[in-house]
Amino acid sequence: MLKTLFATTALVAVAMTAPAHAQTKEPLKIGVLMPTTGVFAVLGLEQLKGMRYAVAEAGGEVAGRKIELIIEDDQGAPGTGLTKARKLVTSDNVDVTAGIISSAVALAVIPYLSSIKMPLVISNATTDELSGAKCSPYVFRTSYSSSQMSEPLGDYMGKKGIKTLYLMAADYVAPREHLAAVRRTYLKQGGKIIGESYPPFAKTQDYGPYIAQARSSGAQALLPIFYASEAILFMKQYSSFGLQKTLPVYGSSGLVNPVLLGALGDAALGVDSVTNYVPEIDTPENKAFVENWRKAHAGNDPEDFAVTAYDSIRFILEAVKALNGNTKDRDAFAAAISKVKYNSPRGPISIGKTNTVSQNIYIARTVKRGEKIGYEILDTYKNFEDPIEGCNLRK
């Protein structure tokens, strides 16, 4: 029911904005795999906002074709994702696919989609595996690899003089990859990791024992990797320990992102985190984007998950423009996607050697801005390329 509601809403909204001449050509069908239920639902719903905004910004059509977002709830489950991917291809006859929050879902659907040369533009799913041995010329990523996002954070903490660090992450693939990336660059700066723990994913409700372990380790700082509802639980419980001065938290991209700030309140303050987007980015493109986004979303700011999803649709639309609307040749469609580049709200982006975008990575601190919580950009790693080796699709 929820899936049908989202899909119908998207199609009706697009149809209302499409110009009359767009009806003379077949619609551009974009199949979207996105969790709208389950632990990742809050992120999936935010990404759908970004996708719908990209469609609305384009006027509901591209190269004379009405844009249809056909949305399927993958529930964050690999088996469900594969079933829904097959449906999008065989029943809905989509031209291209997009979305996916969970790396496990991405790894489940990519062999099938790549085997039929169906382009996929991933809006999240950050596993490093997609940049290495399992890269594909038909799979693109507008978010980042785990290493691309987290290597700058380890480098930043080391340069800031943090000598000892305690690591903590939900026990599944993506968080462990993020910690491995932080570990590499942090150790290069002379830092020392003196403890780590991995609370069970989607099962842990009490983080108190893990926080107590970190406190007793004597570490100078704590780096936790949690997302969505788990990030909220962890940060609220961490705040209750009163450790902000004695064991400060440095954050992953999802720990204190904008979609969580309302729920976190002051528990989010004072965290230096790594991200590829904050509304405070000072460029003409972002200022215009934020202004227009607020008008369309009751004064609320865009956040990083929404922007990477916005870019996933924009990459598709730019490629369709370059092809004058002809998407029948899937090899040509994938090649056109690989050549897209523009100034995104988050800065200049283009497809890199692993089919993950090259982009700016920011270190930002959560601060009070009047009655709200916002961000102060502390450092920028410009045009930061996905560092994973083993696949070079831009030879």
List, for residues 9-60, the tens digit of each pLDDT value. Answer: 444 344 444 444 434 689 999 999 999 998 889 889 999 999 999 999 999 9
Strand order in the sheet with 221-225: 192-197, 164-169, 221-225
One pLDDT digit (tens) per residue for the chain, 395 residues = 444 434 434 443 444 444 444 346 899 999 999 999 988 898 899 999 999 999 999 999 999 999 999 999 999 999 999 999 999 999 999 999 999 999 999 999 999 999 999 999 999 999 999 998 889 999 999 999 999 999 999 999 999 999 999 999 999 888 999 999 999 999 999 999 999 999 999 899 999 999 999 999 999 999 999 988 899 999 999 999 999 999 999 998 789 988 788 899 999 999 999 999 999 999 999 999 999 999 999 999 998 999 999 999 999 999 999 999 999 999 999 999 999 999 999 999 999 999 999 999 999 999 998 888 999 999 999 999 999 998 877 65
CA distance 303 to 261: 10
Average pLDDT, the chain: 92
Can you give the pLDDT at residue 392?
72
CA distance 114 to 105: 14
| Ramachandran angles phi, psi of 237, nearest 5° | -70, -40
Tokens for 395, please give them.
């030879």
Can you give the pLDDT at residue 120?
98
Tell me whether residue 324 is exposed, middle or buried, using C-beta atoms within 10 angstroms of its C-beta: 0 to 12, 13 to 18, 19 or more: exposed
Enter the DSSP assignment of 387.
-
Tell me whether residue 234 is exposed, middle or buried, using C-beta atoms within 10 angstroms of its C-beta: 0 to 12, 13 to 18, 19 or more: buried
Can you give the pLDDT at residue 4?
41
CA distance 84 to 73: 8
| Among the listed residues 120, 172, 126, the one whose alpha carbon sits nearest the alpha carbon of residue 145 | 126
- Give all domains of the chain, ordered by start, each with its CATH number: 2-144+282-358 (3.40.50.2300), 147-275 (3.40.50.2300)
CA distance 145 to 127: 6
Cα 301 to Cα 51, 113, 268, 293, 374: the distances in Å are 15, 34, 17, 7, 10
Q: Residue 267: what residue type?
A: A
Cβ–Cβ under 8 Å, residues 105 and 77: yes
Cβ–Cβ under 8 Å, residues 131 and 388: yes
**Please, what's the b/e burial string for 101-132 (b: 16 or more CB within 10 A of its CB; e: otherwise)?**
bbbbbbbbbbeebbeeebbbbbbbbbbbbbbb
- Tracing tokens 């919580």 back to the chain, one arrives at 373
The pTM (predicted TM-score) of the whole model is: 0.88
